[in-house]
Amino acid sequence: MTDGRLDTGVAAGRLSAEDYAENFADLHPPLDRHEAVVAADRCYFCYDAPCVTACPTGIDIPLFIRQIATGNTTGSAKTIFDQNILGGMCARVCPTETLCEQACVREKAEGKPVVIGRLQRYATDAAMTAGKQFYERAAPSGKLVAVVGAGPAGLACAHRLAMHGHDVTVFDARPKAGGLNEYGIAAYKTVDGYAQAEVDYVTAIGGIAVEPGKALGRDLSLAGLCTSYDAVFLGMGLGGVNALGVEGDDSEGVIDAVEYIAALRQASDLATLPVGRRVVVLGGGMTAIDVAVQAKLLGAEEVTICYRRGKDNMNASEYEQDLATSKGVAIRHWLQPKRILAQSGKVTGIQLEYTTMSDGRLTGTGESLTLGADQVFRAIGQSYVTEPLEGGPSVALEGGRIKVDGEGRTSIAKVWAGGDCVAGGDDLTVSAVAMGRDAAESIHKSFNTRSGA
């Protein structure tokens, strides 16, 4: 639309090459040394700091910031990686505004927290750019561990196991490792192939073999893994996308947001990616925001997020909502899909019903409105797919996901799990890292206990 051209329907190449480059550039450019020191100087080095408590991986934030301030950027990176080996990606994708930065005392004091996420990126980028590896493997233990899923949970687990001297094989169904870091997440949050660089950085410790293109239930079975390995970690995330369950859901142009985002992340040329002129996104989480903003940045003329509850119920943070509206995305609340309108099998619009809370339950009011649309994105949540584990040892589920205890142990011996596929999580990258790391410690402990017995 840069030249005022009207491309109706779904079309690729809506923008110039410069526009694509600008739109998908780093959302937050890295801090330079001066900016980092000024930002670091604002940290009060709190006692029992609330930011640390708020971090799912418990990074010693005041310490790493003080290390930046004192010119020990390398030490700062180590402080971060000690707790979170994927600290570089978390620095980019964590909703810090609802985690460490929300807890920062300067948020309370002045409404302006220390920019912890950007400082974390400053330190981790410096160490990774310098190729600085902080960890050496312990003497080989002779133990073999299979990790299913090369996403944040699996990678964190593999790294910690490798540190302890165990040999790890990481299987992933996709052609590349990285999980959602590679196939999810808005492109402008992780530019320049960062996800793969991080995979390389993490696996550089040694003792980690990555086997892409191997899916559980297709190429591997849990029973087989349990036989061949001393322990198994399941970290395969969520394979399913919730259906709309309304008429016309199967029309051309009704797309799973996660698939579209994956295609966008893998596209070598964004101009080849078709996007609608008028786009409707259904959902209220981070995925809804990510697909809506990126559709807009790809040149969609109108992008509307429709969410069936109110603003306060949205899983997307306030910051992400503001980001979307600042990019020109409209967010509408209290609307649920009623029917997809289509002509010749192609989406032309969507009928939505107004909703309200009645006696604590969400109900339709009967009134509806229609929005014209060439594309409708489903971003109403993902689900754990049970099929890959069927036919093998029975892993107990809870609320449709794998049940684990505080250390990540599943209901069967030798099998741990973590990340989005387990029950009770918050679907955050940083939480997946914490679960993978902790499961690795639990696995390691179990080896010692068993060998000592």
Partner 1 sequence: MADIRSNFIGIKSPNPFWLASAPPTDKEYNVVRAFKAGWGGVVWKTLGLDPHIVNVNGPRYGAVWGADRRLLGLNNIELITDRPLQVNLDEIKRVKRDWPDRAVVVSLMVPCEEACWTDIMKQVDDTGADGVELNFGCPHGMSERGMGSAVGQVPEYIEMVTRWVKASTRMPVIVKLTPNITDIRYPARAAHKGGADAVSLINTVSSITSVNLDTFSPEPSIDGKGSHGGYCGPAVKPIALNMVADIARDAETRGLPISGIGGITTWRDAAEFMALGAGNVQVCTAAMTYGFKIVQEMIEGLKNWMDEAGHPDLDAFVGRAVPNVTDWQYLNLNYVAKARIDQDSCIQCGRCHIACEDTSHQAITNMVDGQRRFEVIDEECVGCNLCVNVCPVENCITMVPMAAGAVDPRTGRVVTDDYANWTTHPNNPARVAAE
Q: For binding to partner 1 (CB under 8 A), which residues are involved?
A: 37-38, 41-42, 44-50, 105-106, 108-109
Whichever of 42 and 137 has its CB closer to partner 1, that residue is 42
C-alpha to C-alpha distances, 214 to 4, 122, 226, 258, nearest whole angstrom = 46, 35, 16, 20
| Whole-angstrom distance, CA of residue 36 vs CA of residue 23 | 25
Whichever of 53 and 266 has its CB closer to partner 1, that residue is 53
E strands within 2-46? none
Whichever of 41 and 322 has its CB closer to partner 1, that residue is 41
Whichever of 99 and 279 has its CB closer to partner 1, that residue is 99
Closest separation between CB of residue 110 and partner 1, Å?
9
Half-sphere exposure of 207 (CA within 13 A, CB side): 24
| Whole-angstrom distance, CA of residue 102 vs CA of residue 290 | 21
Whichever of 50 and 372 has its CB closer to partner 1, that residue is 50
| Whole-angstrom distance, CA of residue 446 vs CA of residue 33 | 44
| Whole-angstrom distance, CA of residue 382 vs CA of residue 68 | 39
Closest separation between CB of residue 369 and partner 1, Å?
46
Length of the chain: 453
Q: What is the largest CA-CA distance in the chain?
A: 75
Q: 414 — alpha (psi -120 to 50), left (phi > 0) or beta?
A: left
Whichever of 43 and 168 has its CB closer to partner 1, that residue is 43
The answer to whether 177 touches 149, Cβ cutoff 8 Å, is no
Closest separation between CB of residue 50 and partner 1, Å?
7
E strands within 13-120? none
β-pairing verdict for 231-234 and 415-417: parallel
As given in the structure block, the two tokens for residue 321 are 């909502």
The answer to whether 418 touches 438, Cβ cutoff 8 Å, is yes
What secondary structure letter does DSSP report for 291? H
Whichever of 111 and 245 has its CB closer to partner 1, that residue is 111
Closest separation between CB of residue 48 and partner 1, Å?
6
Burial group, residue 26, by CB count within 10 angstroms (0-12, 13-18, 19+): middle
C-alpha to C-alpha distances, 247 to 345, 349, 401, 444, nearest whole angstrom = 12, 12, 28, 51
Whichever of 44 and 250 has its CB closer to partner 1, that residue is 44
| Whole-angstrom distance, CA of residue 429 vs CA of residue 178 | 11
Closest CA to 199 of 233, 155, 239: 155
Closest separation between CB of residue 119 and partner 1, Å?
15
| Whole-angstrom distance, CA of residue 232 vs CA of residue 144 | 9
Whichever of 89 and 115 has its CB closer to partner 1, that residue is 115
Instruction: Give backbone dihedrals phi and psi of 96, rounded to 5 degrees, phi first.
Output: -55, -25
Closest separation between CB of residue 237 and partner 1, Å?
35
Closest separation between CB of residue 46 and partner 1, Å?
4
Whichever of 47 and 192 has its CB closer to partner 1, that residue is 47
